Structure 1
Amino acid sequence: MTASLLAASSANSKAGGMPAVSRSYSQEYGMQQVRVLPGAYYTTSSAQEMIVTILGSCVAACVRNPRTGYGGMNHFMLPEGDDSKWGGPNSAMRYGNFAMEALINDVLKTGCARCELEIKLFGGANLYNGASMVGTHNLEFALGYLRAEGLPLETHDLGGPRGRRIHYFPATGKVKRLLLKPTTDQRLVRSEQDYIKSLLQQPIEGDVDLFE
């Protein structure tokens, strides 16, 4: 197995004040479950791993090399950051422009041509009334990003008023999407609001590699 995690140097490191990923064994699926939290991405070549995330207004992209089964998922909270401020693996993954570049670049390194990428998008819900409409901004960014880069979009499940739980199996490209209950949505709203506050307090540091 090979795996990459840009948001932290290890699964125990922090991103946005939270662990970047968490691991557990799923009895239901009979394989390792890797949960990606906001501000992180994870890639793997193992057929014995599924990647899971919970989305409200955030967007997650599932990207894989269909010839090898190598793939992964990101999870970003905000559409774009200022190019001059891009940086640090612990904070820049908050932004969709960095999160998309980072994940796609990782998959391309496995010998996949850009036109061969299998890309699926999820999330971007608007869970509460307000002028910010973060979910809409995130999904519009993600769709616009792929159009601008000339990258194929195989499928998407975006927008609406409900949160989602995504189970992604990179080895096969299969995705299982579950809509969250309204009571869960309210907890997710509070969690996202706390996450945004933590991001606003974090400086952006370090260097990053974009498309090669």
Structure 2
Amino acid sequence: MEPDIVKDIFLQPGGYYWGENGTRIRTLLGSCVALCFWHPYTKTGGMAHIMLPNRPSHVLDPHPKYADDALEAFLKKFNQLGERPGRFVCKIFGGASMFSPEEDKLDEVKRIVEIGEKNVESVLKLVKKANIDLTASNTGGKSHRKIYFSLWDGEVYMENPKN
């Protein structure tokens, strides 16, 4: 049941947010991926709005817009809380192919088209490598998604008009 007072957080692309009971985190995804974690006992959790599969070697500072940095931010948070990653519910959403280039388009355009798929692959690989069980996902497709993540119950409501 929704609390009487809800702290509503809109997560921008590349954003990361950790909150507690009474918080709803929402975002809009296209080719980006939302990585969500929730602790069923403490009713705390967070979301990262991942834009790219990994941080390029020339970029020195970590940022949660990269899948590898986003997962690392969560692992650090779990450590700060004295919790193991396996105690959290993990869900991912997004990674749509938002563009449909013709066969004769440039390789660069095809690489952009595949970014959603690459984001999903990267997040799945990183989650698996960290021995975290994925409990729910809705990825791929050709359309955007609106995600609403309620930290009071761990539920994710998704609007997906065209998939």
TM tier relative to shorter chain:
0.7 to 0.9
Question: Which residue is equivalent to 2:106?
Answer: none
- The answer on whether the counterparts of 2:142 and 2:162 sit within 8 Å (CA) in structure 1 is no
Q: Distance in 2 between matches of 1:163 and 1:71?
A: 23
CA separation of 1:136 and 1:30: change in aligned 2, threshold 3 A: same
Return the TM-score normalized by structure 2: 0.83
* Partner SS state of residue 93, structure 1: coil
Question: Which residue is equivalent to 1:129?
Answer: 100
Query: Per-residue CA shift, 1:151-178, capped at 9, x if unaligned?
Result: 1111100101111000001221111010
Query: Per-residue CA shift, 1:43-70, capped at 9, x if unaligned?
Result: 111x222000000000011112222111
- 1:97-136 correspondence to structure 2 within 5 Å: 97-130=68-101, 131-132=110-111, 133-136=114-117
- Structure 2: segments with no counterpart, 5+ residues: 102-109
- The answer on whether the counterparts of 1:60 and 1:122 sit within 8 Å (CA) in structure 2 is yes
- The answer on whether the counterparts of 1:123 and 1:159 sit within 8 Å (CA) in structure 2 is yes
2:31 to 57, 63, 70: 57
- 1:35-114 correspondence to structure 2 within 5 Å: 35-45=10-20, 47-82=21-56, 85-87=59-61, 92-114=63-85
CA separation of 1:86 and 1:118: change in aligned 2, threshold 3 A: farther
- The answer on whether the counterparts of 1:125 and 1:135 sit within 8 Å (CA) in structure 2 is yes
1:172 to 149, 153, 159: 153
CA separation of 1:181 and 1:158: change in aligned 2, threshold 3 A: closer
Query: Per-residue CA shift, 1:102-145, capped at 9, x if unaligned?
Result: 13321442232122121000000001124121100000111111
| Count of aligned pairs between the two proteins | 150
Return the TM-score normalized by structure 1: 0.65
- The answer on whether the counterparts of 1:71 and 1:107 sit within 8 Å (CA) in structure 2 is no
- The answer on whether the counterparts of 2:98 and 2:142 sit within 8 Å (CA) in structure 1 is yes
* Percent of aligned pairs with the same amino acid: 29
- The answer on whether the counterparts of 2:48 and 2:65 sit within 8 Å (CA) in structure 1 is no
- 1:3-18 correspondence to structure 2 within 5 Å: none
